[in-house]
Structure 1
Amino acid sequence: MSIAGLIQELADTGAPIDAIIIAVRAIEERDAVEAERRARATERKRRERERERDRKRDGHATVAGQSSDTPRPPSFPHTPKHPPISPRTTPDEARYVASEPVSEPMSASMPISEPDGETLGRELANAAGRALAKPAAAPGLLVLSEPMNWLRNGCDLKADILPTIQARCSRARPSSIRSWSYFTEAVYQARDNRLKPAPEPNPVQPSRTSRSTPRSGAASPHDAILAAFAGRIGEHLAARGGGEPDPDLEPGAYPGRTIDLVAIGG
């Protein structure tokens, strides 16, 4: 019964005003309780629908408990805004990766195409060999989100990823690697080594010799003039009956004698 109908009925029976007010308040409280109960039921149903939707979505995204005969396609999460910090790796792995031949020069600005999940998984499994655990024991290997992040962060499949996996798995025990994150640090280190600029060569400056230093084996023009001058003095003294000139004496050191200097030449 509505509130207006109740008031009219009570008034017709001659009920006092206080009784009518109490009856109206009781109806209002009853309606409020009923409305709250309906709201709670509606909210409970909405939450149940959301939980069911989340369970279905998680069931498509997870690989836990699935059969190895029917692997689910890999899921590729969003690429992080910044690439991970370059990790460290062992010197042996760095030498192994550096020694691998590169088919063509790589550049950091070149776009890297992402292979499809089936091709990528096959190449990774071939590079790892027997070191990978069986998918039934390590279902995380079926999810290729970590290798896809390597590619999106500038790592090259042929130059960085596959050689690094081969280097690590060559020393690992069979079926001991259960996650692709085992290779993450070494893969990023291989990428940094490949993209590191080569050191500039140090130009060797030619040594300059002093102009005042005489060159060995080359006669000075002054030496030729002095030798010719000494020869003329010897001829002059021989013509006058004198002996050989003292080689230690310098020109003009013969007092009382006049030397006839004749130009030497052809």
Structure 2
Amino acid sequence: MTAHMSLEFLLPFALALLATGAIAGTLAGVLGVGGGIVIVPVLYLLFPLLGIAPEVRMHLAVGTSLATIIPTSIMSARTHNKKGGLDWDLLKSLAPGIVIGVIAGSVFGGRARGSTLTLIFAVIALLVATHMAFKREGWTLRDALPAGPRFRVPLGCFIGGFSVMMGIGGGTLSVPILSSFAVPIRRAVGTASAIGLIIGLPGTVGYIVSGLGDPHLPPFSLGYANLLGFALIVPTTMLTAPIGARIAHAIDPVLLRKAFAFFLFVTSCRMFWGVFGH
């Protein structure tokens, strides 16, 4: 048995993954955000404490997060579709660009240095935090989302490419973008749930292939996707999301949004420090 396979490593590792799933599920339920925007920074902060090599920390956080998005987005998309919140025409118009973006982002992300992925997450997280903290209710950029592939394919590329490099399902980017073009919030959230599957499935495959044979990976890793992480985070997330949803009805949503924006801001600063502070 290697040092990494010892009980002294596996027990804290498993407990950390369970805690990640619980935090992600609760916040996803409270705020209506995808779990990836929580899973990646939590894993990024926990991995150094577990002694996981810096060369693979961000890749492993992103790849594992993408794997967890697959089952959760399937369940979420089915629920939204039953309630009529999934706009299939909108999804079909964005899907080609999303797929192109995911493929390009997976290739780049798998080959990029961990510090590059960390910097990308930090920048986007800071933008999202700013948007959540200062967003004015009812504000829109235009009265409708421009039609046609000349706009929607590049938009899909942006959402797919940056989401797969960040390990998020697309809702974090697509919901505020679609809302800013006057897409009703229920349609935006419902369609984003299906976008998560388009991002998660090929994105996970890309990170698995890119990480095969990396000597720095911890136990139970298939490329840059950790199977133990997948097995522990997914059920914990699903169990705690309803708890978060109940909390959301008891607390001022504006206060919650600003609290999460603060969490993202602090996480972003911590990541910037990890890249430039040494």
Q: TM-score, normalised by structure 1?
A: 0.23
The one of the two structures with greater contact order (alpha-carbon pairs below 8 A, sep at least 6) is 2
More helix as a share of residues: 2
Q: Radius of gyration: which is bigger?
A: 1
